[in-house]
Structure 1
Amino acid sequence: MPYALFCNDAQISKAYPAEADVWKLAHRSGLVVDVANDDERPGPRRVLDNDYEIKPCRAAQGEDPAKNKADAEQQSRMEPEFNS
């Protein structure tokens, strides 16, 4: 089942084949933040910024999640990445 990025239950990204693909998209978009660790986990952990979620979804009619992934990877290779 494909996954997408949601905000307040509204799908805001294309569908991608795996949850990890959406995490990469969210990270490149600046939506992933580090939060302080809790007592059970060492070091900081990464979470999505407020109101964003990654959830399973249905691909729109005619949408190909694998093509969306390939397009996103190609675009990321063409854009400079800035350290935050």
Structure 2
Amino acid sequence: MAEAINWMELSLKDWREEMRAFREEMREANRRFEALKIESERKYEASRQEYDRKFDAARSEIRNLTITIAIGIASIIFGALGFVYAMLK
């Protein structure tokens, strides 16, 4: 009987030690997960900022091209009006 109790106590100690080790492994896994999550969020934010920067640059370039085209069209129109005016004079 004493041997059975002794064996149960040893089994309980082993189980507690295994559970302690398991909890520590889970804590470490959770720390790694949190570190990966933070790194992923940082990379996402950097990627989003890079996309925003490129999008703003493209939008600015389109705006500049639109202004250039509008000036060109206005020049053609005013040139044609000047030509018509000169012909009518």
State the TM-score, normalized to the length of structure 2: 0.20
Q: Which one scores higher on RCO, CA 8 angstroms, separation ≥ 6?
A: 1
Q: Which has the higher strand share?
A: 1
Q: Please say which structure displays the higher CA radius of gyration.
A: 2
